[in-house]
């Protein structure tokens, strides 16, 4: 069977998956973001609409996590996401993010799939 040529087009889903994989931390423990208080996201992450989020309120916290997962680079993901918050809210958060982002994170971190399976 012939190997694909160097000029063969790459599908959009494959490009997006590669992009999100490049933003993954080496381990969930690398997510050292705050667990409480207000977070002000930079404009390169929250480029449209709200930029300040109260982590002590579930809806704004979930909204911020959606934005960072979708728009943040690796440094943003590590700086703004908190490992414990991500794992605890993953069962709901996974339903609010895109299929590609969800798949990349769950394939890289089985702990997230386990958190989802353990949810009521």
Of 38, 29, 27, whose CA–CA distance to 61 is shortest? 38
Q: pLDDT for 20-60, tens place per residue?
A: 899 999 999 999 999 999 999 999 999 888 999 999 999 99
**Reported pTM:** 0.85
Alpha helices in 53-119 (DSSP H): 58-71, 74-80, 83-93, 99-108, 110-118
Q: From the CB of residue 56, how many other CB atoms can be counted at a distance below 10 Å?
A: 11
- Any idea where the domains of the chain sit in the sequence? 30-118
- DSSP 8-class letter at 7: T
Q: pLDDT for 59-72, tens place per residue?
A: 999 999 999 999 99
């Amino acid at each position: 069977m012939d190997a694909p040529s160097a000029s063969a087009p790459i599908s959009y889903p494959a490009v997006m998956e590669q992009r999100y994989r490049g933003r993954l931390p080496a381990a969930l423990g690398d997510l050292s973001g705050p667990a409480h208080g207000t977070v002000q996201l930079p404009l390169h992450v929250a480029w449209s609409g709200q930029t300040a989020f109260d982590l002590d309120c579930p809806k704004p916290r979930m909204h911020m996590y959606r934005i960072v997962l979708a728009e943040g680079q690796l440094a943003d993901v590590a700086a703004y996401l908190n490992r414990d918050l991500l794992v605890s809210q993953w069962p709901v958060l996974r339903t609010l993010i895109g299929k590609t982002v969800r798949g990349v994170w769950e394939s890289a971190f089985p702990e997230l799939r386990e958190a989802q399976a353990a949810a009521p």
